[in-house]
A and B are shown apart, each in its own frame.
Chain A
Amino acid sequence: MNHNAVIETLSERLQRDKKDVNALLEGFVSAIQEYLCEMDSVQLPGFGTFSSRKEDEKIVTDLSTGKKLLLPPAITLEFNQSAILKRKIAD
């Protein structure tokens, strides 16, 4: 299911113009991005939680060459499914 299919299904359900739905979806994505940038987590009931986690810089060793690399810090994005979603999928 790609982006356009999602918009189509949504516009049918909400009985709204595709343009409106597109704007809403864009707002949704940018809002989530905004929160994740601020290291907040977004909880959607019945679906799951989007969160971001900061990984500190670290040294990794390439075992084959013995070379060491200092990796910069990074923020990883995570999604934790809610129990309801998990049950839906398992069915």
Chain B
Amino acid sequence: MIKLLIRYFNLMVITIFALIVLSFLLPYLFPGDLLTNVSGIVPQSELQREALAKAYRLDQSYFSQFQLYLSNLFSGNWGVSSVSQLDLLEEIKRAFPATLELVIYALLVATFVGIPVGFISGLKHHNPADFSVVTFSIVGYSFPVFWLALLFITIFCLQLQWLPISGRVDLLYEVQHQTGFVIIDIWLSGLDNTKDAYLNALRHAILPTLSIAVVTTALFIRFTRRSTMDVMEKGYIIAAKSRGFTQRQIFFKHGFKNALIPILPILALQISTLITNAMIVENIFSWPGIGYWLIQAIYQQDYPAIRAGMLVVALFVLTLTITIEFITRALDPTKEETARAAV
């Protein structure tokens, strides 16, 4: 186990290093003034330019620039946005939790709807209920996310006027930014009408969550259903039946775990797709997350912001993927170290 941990940690460190090198190279590849790209500041005078170039070691070797970049990165000095002149780390800290919150909501919906539905339709497959579930999942999977979001807005916001179009919570509620997660922030703000604020935040979250959750839920259903059907035909399930175990016992002791083991990594890897989708949907619902923020940065050619945003999102997806790989690998007993050389 320790060996495994070290191996995965090693993999993560090396990949992160490669990412950091790539992000270091970006400002040299972007068009425009290198100094502005690196620092985010447009020099007003020759004097300032020289001072900045000295500060960012542009007169020294690339290696020494990279050293500076690394030390800045780890000390939290991520530079400033070339448009707003705000500290990038602070900006990202503000925007990223919002995306994460949306992803978590969607993941919860997909997990608690997709997996049980997948199990049920896999256990009782080939009947009308199962067919309708399959139909839903195919239709759901085929929807383009952005179009679904627009459709939701047309139907539920403009036509029916049930739900708000944009934002996370009404300005009416004075929610201070503390953690970036609106649920926690409302609680920490200690408003008089906390309940209303929660309700309001929920109403804001429904549509963006749904529009990215539909695709993922459909995927979860399909994977779980297929895997359940495969597992329930396996020899050990027939053997368990022949031992006269109850259906419950067979499913929960033997079916459940074995159906989940092969699909868990696939399902967990959907989180990165979910983040991508969330970044798209944020723009439609003006959800102040990292996707919205990055798109704004791209529009305004804010290269330092693009660099930092890209690094954060990539780091997050990478860490997540490797952690999931590690967990599934650690959980699966058939993949022992010794089993690698099967005879």
Asked if A pairs with B, the answer is no
